[in-house]
Structure 1
Amino acid sequence: MLFLITGANKGLGYEAARRLIEAGHQVIVGARNPELGQAAADTLGAAARFVPLDVTDDASVKAAAENVTANEGHLDGLINNAGVSGPRKAVDDLTAADAVRVYDTNVFGIIRVTSAFLPLLRKSGSPVIVNVSSGLGSFEQTHREGSMEARVVTPIYASSKAAVSMLTSQYAKALPEIVVNAVDPGFTNTDLTGGAGVQTVTEGTDAIVATATIGPGGPTGTFRNRLGEVGW
């Protein structure tokens, strides 16, 4: 299968690419930084190809889709992984501009990329979309007494990931020919968490890789972590 992963030059995106290639798949490494993206693809080897892709830029997304159309001509899987954590501020200091910056990557970026690559996904015999969400965007997990998610207060990031989950649910209904699911990687040791995660990056990609390779006829419109389905 041929996958495109956004934000694939480091962290969860890079490790998911590495594991998918190890399993025999091909990966298009999407990244906004050309030097880091190309370096990641070079390290991943012949089964990886770098394509410049800034999910916050309409022209960049369009150019990336045209690039893949001209070179591969189709896409089997799209992994919307690119994300930002947003400002570390007291709630009193949060602004609408802060929210726009986070949503532009975490939410609007998924819409931009999904819309641009749908024609290529429709050329696959078993297309799949994986949206990387978070337990912090889960109403069930953030209200579960004693959970890590219930202790963390991050209004903008958490609400952006709740939006990702709803996008996933709606896309699954609107695109019955495509398997569309959201995943919660868990609290993983990456740049996004400042290295404070309790899981390795490999554990954090378990749900991404499993859901990306779920196969035709697999469950769609679900929210999953490395142990199985979780509550929205």
Structure 2
Amino acid sequence: MAREPRTSAGGRLVALVVWTVLLLGVWWWGRELTDPTPAPSPAPPAVSAVPPDGSARGGAGMGRALPPAREPLPGSEPRRVEVEAAGVDARVVARGLDGHGAVEPPPMTEPDLVGWYEDGAAPGAEGVAVLVGHLDTDTGTAVFHRLPSVRPDDRVRVARADGTVAEFTVEEVATAEREGFDPDEVYGPRRPGRAELRLITCTGEFDREDGSYTANLVVSAYLTGVRPA
């Protein structure tokens, strides 16, 4: 069997820096909240991981094997994302880095938007695509408010600019605490060569002194199907 190419130490360092910046950008959102005492959302359950045999544990996927991965698609910008289990059907907008060097979230004035980190992979293409959304704002709940209800074997559908809908299957739901954060564990590919997706929002307790949440919710999924829009 052919050996997989090894990533250079420099490449790993660059990836580490990029993903650390991304996560810090997610935590930065909380600083824009004008309400100093928002009601903290319940923390999601502990990691619902998928064992090596591909069978799902916990949630909707209990006792069932997850579907096989589909080969990646050509790159194409996302237009909408649907997560039925979380009541999400939202427009996706491209985002980059802001003046602080952090990922730029969707505007707080438009809580129903989802942001796509456009300098990363496109949803459906090989690599890890990142979609981010607010949990809440100073005026109420936001697009990813119900994301903690997602479980392994749930579906995520992304409508793309090329007229296709990429369908992903959730394989893991986890929390990433601010302390002891491991970017490779959170953002690295679960299996090389796949098209993977991360849905990210805030979770944990709201730190009033710091003005942000103490953790992020990370939903990991992989491409299992494609259909016309």
- TM-score tier, shorter chain, comes to under 0.3
Q: Relative contact order, CA 8 A, sep 6+: which one is greater?
A: 2
Higher helix share: 1
Higher strand share: 2
Using structure 2 for the length normalisation, give the TM-score.
0.24
